[in-house]
Amino acid sequence: MKTKKLNLTLNLFAGAALAFVGLAMGATSSYAQDGSTLRAVKSKGFVQCGVSQGLPGFSNADDAGNWTGIDVDVCRAVAAAVFGDADAVKYTPLSAKERFTALQSGEIDVLSRNTTWTLQRDTGLGIVFTGVNYYDGQGFMVRKSLGVSNALELAGASVCTNTGTTTELNVADYFRANSMDYELVAFEKADEVVVAYDAGRCDVYTTDQSGLYAQRLKMTDPSEQVVLPEVISKEPLGPAVRIGDAQWANIVKWTLFAMLNAEELDITSRNIDAKSSSSDPAILRFVGKEGSFGENMGLPNDWAYHIVKQVGNYSESFERHVGPNTPLGISRGLNALWKDGGLQYAPPIR
């Protein structure tokens, strides 16, 4: 009897060991080598894109499961550049704390999830940021009934935010620098923050200002909420890729630059076909009729044409998802082109 029991235990052990072996084998090659990401993306036929779990205007799924937003447009533009088909994207919704692990482990090809570019993230996490698709800053939202008009009046307030972001560090710095007490209530997900703030747990909701405008729409009474004018931090949001694959980093970087250059050259999804026959060399280079700029990245020469034709230029994307005519109603501000007084500036395609 005893031997039989022993054997049963042994079998269980052997089964568990085999399962582990499988895991170890499967997890061997997740680091990036130059060119490997593009090869892998081409062979599977789509771009795997990490997005948020639902932030209107940036990355948000509708009832039918279609993702929209300016972060989603970056993914769609990458797919348009690689495949000539902006729909060749699959989305992975990620929480703030899952996002870097998902990118490091190779689960996603691009992280385009309102992620702030910081030195620590750029150098210590095995990822590189490829540009800024939205210049943001952290702000505060309060109820109008509190009668607060200035962030310096917030001493002693309870502050709700979500964890795993630069937000809680910025708010700590701001309150400490101004010698004000506060209580930080940090939730895991943005939706939980909205519910708790709405239920009266906190006086203040703090996150990136774009996020405040987006989350305000989910409150019971959006008109009762007011976003304070102070911006307490620099939050350049942009896409990131794994370190080590310069080719793929270039593709994502120049996809964003192509959208900005298109706006600067006044090329839109509607007029690109007409413009393609113009004699302006900058436009001819852009649509791939002159030079071989796409080939150097391992892409077809008309990569930028497909981006603008199918996704649009930066302005079109902005106005479609977050601009003044959307529920978010955010003006271009810092995100205007450099020649219009903003910060958006792309190196030339030549």
> Interface with other proteins by CB under 8 A: which residues?
3, 6-7, 10, 13-14, 17, 20-21, 23-24, 27-28, 30-31, 96-97, 100-101, 104, 120-121, 124-126, 154-158, 160, 163-165, 168-169, 172-173, 176, 181-189, 192, 195-196, 199-201, 203, 242-244
- Please report the sign of the dihedral spanned by the C-alpha atoms of residue 257, residue 261, residue 267, residue 273: negative
* Closest CB to other proteins among residues 121, 289: 121
* Closest CB to other proteins among residues 201, 218: 201
Q: How far is the CB of 260 from other proteins (least distance, A)?
A: 29
Paired tokens of 194: 């909205």
Structure-derived torsion over alpha carbons of residues 91, 46, 317, 58, reported in degrees to the nearest 10: 10
The owner of tokens 């447009």 is 73
Paired tokens of 166: 């630069």
What lies within 8 Å, CB to CB, of 266 at 6+ separation is: none
Q: How far is the CB of 48 from other proteins (least distance, A)?
A: 18
* Total residue length of the chain: 350
Residue type, 263: E
Q: How far is the CB of 198 from other proteins (least distance, A)?
A: 9
CA gap 74, 129 in Å, rounded: 13
C-beta separation of 314 from 344 below 8 A? yes
* Closest CB to other proteins among residues 125, 227: 125
* Closest CB to other proteins among residues 64, 199: 199
Q: How far is the CB of 176 from other proteins (least distance, A)?
A: 6
C-beta separation of 128 from 245 below 8 A? no
Q: How far is the CB of 84 from other proteins (least distance, A)?
A: 31
**Residue among 211, 166, 170 nearest 71 (CA):** 211
* Closest CB to other proteins among residues 165, 255: 165
* Closest CB to other proteins among residues 252, 322: 252
Q: How far is the CB of 202 from other proteins (least distance, A)?
A: 9
CA gap 179, 167 in Å, rounded: 18
